[in-house]
Homo-oligomer: A and B are copies of this chain.
């Protein structure tokens, strides 16, 4: 991350949040922000709206501490392969009930997705037809850039951010095409098959200096070519994969076991989910992307290489199962085989009956608001301080990403304190170390 620290620009005017993919997560986000504005629902789970932070002078709400865009100043837009307006899409997603949606129906109906940049090769099992046609991928990217500009002008936004809420694309490794910006742009002109739709959106956003977040585990902006572009246009990026559900629980429980020097022999995680996201993930190639994202978590908390007696033989297995009866109510079951004093075994079993999109929506909001803040602060490149929100945090090549949610939170807090001109150091010690030894 690069920090061209000048004065922090104020949050004047409207912020447009652009969402490629207006499915369960995106529509839940929109409904909640609209309802919160009316005071009919609370944005629970959002650190920017409900969270507090200990400072030198008190314990304010984060939104009162840092100059974030108020909810009233947000405009929503996006793209999808289905032409349903956001209200219809929300009904289809089945996350929020009819009673909740009724109160914001008109505003939601007014939000209609633009035609998607889409490719069935990257997302199987979808049959939407609200899709852009194009000659070259360069042409396609230009169409998205035009969409961005039109949206900004029509809605009178002063600033924009983009958060990928589209389906998980299939697993693919970075290639030559993704190594430099030049190669990538060459690929756009040649319709290189390994440029995924999500990369088209990311390219368009970065080209326009619009901060880009990747909420799915896709490669997307996690390639040198697009990081080069971000550097060129001084644009912040973040990814990958919203940290919700089982992985959230993992990054809570694992640090606790590690804190106590308890060993782990095995961790078996299974998930059942039945929404459209699950349908897409039912294809093995799309599954693969998600599984890779989920598997890295434990090692980075336990550091088995440094603690071989405790974590050297840990067997970690993650399963995702498409199970339609669950609907959006994703459910996870974890069996954790631990051992303690003299090696004696114990077990922890965790059954999380979660609602995926309910957990994800506030993350999109927070990420959007913080990315806009970062942009106004003159920061660019990978925003590691937002790892708190992400399952596989992107990091600079030589940096080991931190997964421990408690360390991630301190980092986030300290970054805010720094930005607001407080001693991060003092703040940290203040926070975590209240009543230390004194004379």
Residues of B contacting A324 with CB < 8 Å?
Answer: 266, 315
Q: Is residue A233 within 8 Å, beta carbon to beta carbon, of the partner chain?
A: no
- Is the pair B425, A341 in contact by a Cβ cutoff of 8 Å? no
Most B C-beta atoms less than 10 A away, residue of A252, A307, A402: A252
Given contacts A1-B437, A266-B323, A306-B52, contact A358 B379 (CB under 8 A): no
Instruction: Say which one of A126-134, A205-213, A253-261 lies at the interface with B.
Output: A253-261
- Is the pair A429, B434 in contact by a Cβ cutoff of 8 Å? no
Residues of B contacting A1 with CB < 8 Å?
Answer: 437-438
Q: Is residue A352 within 8 Å, beta carbon to beta carbon, of the partner chain?
A: yes
- Is the pair B409, A3 in contact by a Cβ cutoff of 8 Å? no
- Is the pair A45, B428 in contact by a Cβ cutoff of 8 Å? no
Q: Is residue A153 within 8 Å, beta carbon to beta carbon, of the partner chain?
A: no
Q: Is residue A92 within 8 Å, beta carbon to beta carbon, of the partner chain?
A: no
Question: Could you say how many copies of this chain the assembly holds?
Answer: 4
> Which of these, B51, B323, B358, B438, contacts A342 with CB under 8 Å?
B358
Further 18 A-B residue pairs, CB within 8 A, beyond A50-B310, A261-B362: A3-B438, A3-B439, A5-B437, A35-B342, A51-B261, A249-B253, A252-B253, A252-B257, A259-B406, A266-B324, A341-B358, A347-B353, A348-B352, A349-B353, A350-B351, A395-B435, A410-B432, A411-B436
Residues of chain A touching chain B, judged by Cβ–Cβ distance below 8 Å, are: 1-3, 5, 28, 31-32, 35, 41-47, 49-52, 59, 96, 98-100, 248-249, 251-253, 255-257, 259-263, 265-266, 268, 270, 272, 306-307, 309-310, 315, 317, 319, 321, 323-326, 331, 333, 335, 337, 339-344, 346-355, 357-359, 361-362, 379, 384-385, 388, 395-396, 399, 402, 405-407, 409-411, 414-415, 418-419, 424-426, 428-429, 431-439
16 contacts between A and B (CB under 8 A): A3-B439, A5-B439, A44-B261, A44-B262, A45-B340, A47-B260, A59-B306, A261-B362, A270-B321, A272-B335, A344-B358, A348-B352, A349-B350, A410-B433, A414-B429, A428-B429
